[in-house]
Amino acid sequence: MPSATVNDFFIALTADSSSKDNLERIYTGLSKFVEVFNGDKSIRLCLVNNIYPSSVKNDLIAQIVSDCKATRTFLEVIIEFNLLTSFIESREFFLKKLRKLLGKVKIEVVTIDVNHEEKLELIKSSLENIWGTNLELSFKEDPGILGGLVLQVEDKYFDGSLLGKVNELKKINVKGDFNV
C-alpha cells in the first residue's frame, strides 16, 4: 500500500475547509507555524526529533496554532506520519498554493526607510492598484539599495533600486560600450 504524502494531507485539509474564512484561518495558522518553526531552534529540534513523544509535539503545536483546529490536526497528522521535514522543505509551495486558493498575493517590499508612513501608503496603494487589495505585504528596510525599491511578488523579482541601476552600469566598460 503506497504511503500518504504531505500533498495528500494538504489536499484533504483544503478540500474539507471549503469556506474562504476557514482557508484564511488555515493559511494564518500555517504561516504562524512556519514563522515560529524558522525562528525558534529549540521548537524546531523538538518537532523533528523522534525522541520526543507525540504528546509533547502536539502540545507545542496547540500553543503555536491555537485558533485553527484543522491546521492543528493537519500538523499533528504529518508529524505522526514523519512527514514534517517534507512539509518544511516545501513550505513555500504549500503556502503559495493556499494564497492562490485565497486569491492572495504575497509581496515583500525593500526600501531605504520603513518609517515614512506617507511613502509606505503610496507604495501600498500603488501595489493594490496593480495586484488588487488582497495582498500580504511586508516591508523591509535596507539603506544599501540607496533609493527606490525592490519588489518580490511571489516568485517574481522587480528591482527599481538605485543600487540596481548602479550595478547595471557595471556591464559598461570604460570606453562606454556594453560588455556582452
Partner 1 sequence: MSEEINIASQLKFASQHLFNLIFFIGVLYYFLKDTIVKFFSNRSLKISREIQDANTIIETSQASYNITSQKVNLIDSELTELRNSIDSVTSRKTGEIIENANSVAKKIKIDTEDIIKLESLKLQYQVENNILSKALEVAQDEISKEITEERDSDLISSFLSEVKQNAISNS
Task: Please report, as ranges, the residues that interact with partner 1 according to CB under 8 A.
Answer: 111-113, 116, 119, 122-123, 126-127, 129-131, 143, 146-149, 151, 158, 160, 162-163, 166, 169-170, 172-174
Compute the 3-state secondary structure of the chain and give helix, strand, coil in percent, each to the nearest 5. 60, 15, 25
- In the chain the first and final C-alpha atoms are separated, in Å, by 55
Nearer residue to partner 1 within complex by CB, 4 or 122: 122
- Run of H or E including 2: none
**Shortest distance in whole angstroms from residue 97 CB to partner 1:** 21
* C-beta of 77 vs 153, nearer to partner 1: 153
When the beta carbons of 78 and 150 are compared against partner 1, the nearer one is 150
Sheet holding 156-161, edge to edge: 135-141, 105-111, 148-153, 156-161
| Nearest CB to partner 1, comparing residues 169 and 180 | 169
Q: In terms of CB distance, is 76 or 142 closer to partner 1? A: 142
Task: Provide the 10 A C-beta neighbour count for residue 44.
Answer: 15
Please report how close the Cβ of residue 121 comes to partner 1 at its closest, in angstroms: 11
Measure the CA–CA gap between 56 and 76, rounded to whole angstroms. Answer: 11
CB of 30 to partner 1, least distance (A): 27
Helix 69-80 and helix 20-39: axis angle, to 10°? 50
The minimum distance between CB 133 and partner 1, in angstroms, equals 15
Enter the C-alpha cell of residue 36: 515560529
Residue 37 CB, nearest approach to partner 1 (Å): 32
Q: How many helices (H) and strands (E) does the chain have?
A: 9, 4
